[in-house]
Copies of this chain bind each other. A is one copy, B any other.
Amino acid sequence: MGQDTKYIVGVDLGGTNIVSLLMNKRGEVLERDARLTLAKEGRERTISQITGSVSAVLEKGRELGISPDSLLGVGIGSPGPLNTKKGVIHFAPNLPGWREVPLVEILTQKLSMPVFLENDANAAALGEWWKGAGRNTSNLVLFTLGTGIGGGIIIDGEVFHGAWDTAAEVGHIIIHEEGLLCNCGTRGCLEAYASATGVVRRTVKAIKEGRETILTDWVQNRLEDITCELVYKAAQKGDKLCSWIVEETARYLGVGIASIVNILNPEVVILAGGMIKAKDLLFKPVREYAKRYALKDAIEGVSIVPAELGDDAGAIGAAATVLKRKGLL
Contacts and interface: CB of A to CB of B under 8 A. Distances in A.
Contacts of A184: 295
A292 B186 contact: yes
Given A81-B297, A177-B176, A298-B169, A162 B260 contact: no
Contacts of A328: none
B169 A252 contact: no
Interface string A105-116: 000000000000
A293 B252 CA distance: 18
A160 B158 CA distance: 13
A176 B176 contact: yes
A207 interface: no
A163 B138 contact: yes
Interface residues of A, number: 46
Contacts of A155: 155, 160
A264 B188 contact: no
A267 to B, nearest CB: 5
A175 B297 CA distance: 20
Contacts of A301: 164
A263 interface: yes
A187 B294 CA distance: 10
Contact of A259 (B163, B174, B292): B174
A162 B81 contact: no
A163 B293 contact: no
Given A175-B177, A259-B174, A295-B184, A162 B252 contact: no
A186 B293 contact: yes
A167 interface: yes
Nearest to A267: B163
A293 B187 CA distance: 7
A168 interface: yes
Q: Which of A153, A162, A165 has the most CB of B within 10 A?
A: A162
Interface in A169-185: 169-170, 172-177, 184
A90 to B, nearest CB: 8
Given A139-B162, A255-B174, A263 B169 contact: yes
A295 B169 contact: yes
A163 B258 contact: no
Contacts of A297: 81, 90, 164, 166
Q: Which of A139, A173, A266 has the most CB of B within 10 A?
A: A173
A266 B186 contact: no
Given A161-B265, A186-B293, 20 more contacts: A81-B297, A139-B162, A155-B155, A163-B266, A163-B267, A166-B262, A167-B263, A169-B263, A169-B298, A170-B263, A173-B262, A173-B263, A174-B255, A174-B293, A176-B176, A186-B258, A188-B255, A259-B259, A260-B263, A263-B263
24 contacts: A90-B297, A162-B264, A162-B266, A163-B267, A164-B265, A166-B262, A166-B295, A166-B298, A167-B298, A169-B298, A170-B262, A170-B263, A172-B258, A172-B259, A172-B294, A174-B293, A175-B175, A175-B177, A177-B252, A177-B255, A177-B293, A186-B292, A186-B293, A263-B263
